[in-house]
Amino acid sequence: MNSAAFPSRDMLEDYAHRVYRYALLDHSGNWGMDIGHWDWVPGVGVISILEYYEQCGQPEVLAELEQWANLQLHKSEQLKVINSMAPFAILPALYSHTGSPVFLEASERVGAWMLNEAPRTREGAFEHTVTENASFPEQVWADTIFMAVLFLARLGRLTGHTVYATEAVHQLELHLKLLQDETSGILFHGWNSIAGNHMSAARWTRANAWIAVGTPMILQELEGLVEIPPSIRERYRRMMEAVIACQRPDGLWTTVMDQPDFYPETSGSAGIAAGILKACRMNLLDDACRENAANAVQGVTAAILATGEVTGVSSGTPVMPSLQAYNEIPCYPSLYGQGLVLMLLAEAMRE
Of the candidates 237, 85, 95, 197, the residue with the CA atom closest to the CA atom of residue 147: 85
pLDDT at 152: 98
Distance (Å, whole) CA 33 – CA 324: 26
Rg, Å, the chain Cα set: 18
- 10 Å CB burial of residue 79 (0-12, 13-18, 19+) is middle
Which residue type, as a one-letter code, is found at position 264?
Answer: P
pLDDT digits (tens, 9 = 90+) for 139-189: 999 999 999 999 999 999 999 999 999 999 999 999 999 999 999 999 999
Q: What are the structural domain ranges in the chain?
A: 9-350
pLDDT digits (tens, 9 = 90+) for 241-281: 999 999 999 999 999 999 999 999 999 999 999 999 999 99
Task: Write the DSSP symbol of residue 197.
Answer: B
Task: Write the DSSP symbol of residue 139.
Answer: E
| Count of CB atoms situated within 10 Å of the CB of 165 | 26
3-state helix, strand, coil in the chain (%, to 5): 60, 5, 35
Assign 2 a pLDDT band (cuts: 50, 70, 90): low
Q: Does residue 325 surpass a pLDDT of 90?
A: yes
pLDDT digits (tens, 9 = 90+) for 105-138: 999 999 999 999 999 999 999 999 998 888 899 9
Q: Does residue 205 surpass a pLDDT of 90?
A: yes
| Count of CB atoms situated within 10 Å of the CB of 15 | 23
pLDDT at 78: 82
What is the mean predicted confidence (pLDDT) over 89-115?
98
pLDDT digits (tens, 9 = 90+) for 7-28: 999 999 999 999 999 999 999 9
- Percent of the chain at pLDDT exceeding 90: 96
Task: Write the DSSP symbol of residue 26.
Answer: -
Assign 35 a pLDDT band (cuts: 50, 70, 90): very high
pLDDT digits (tens, 9 = 90+) for 58-72: 999 999 999 999 999
The answer as to CATH 1.50.10.10 being correct for domain 9-350 is yes
pLDDT at 320: 98
| Count of CB atoms situated within 10 Å of the CB of 256 | 27
Assign 3 a pLDDT band (cuts: 50, 70, 90): low
Q: Does residue 4 surpass a pLDDT of 90?
A: no
Task: Write the DSSP symbol of residue 146.
Answer: I
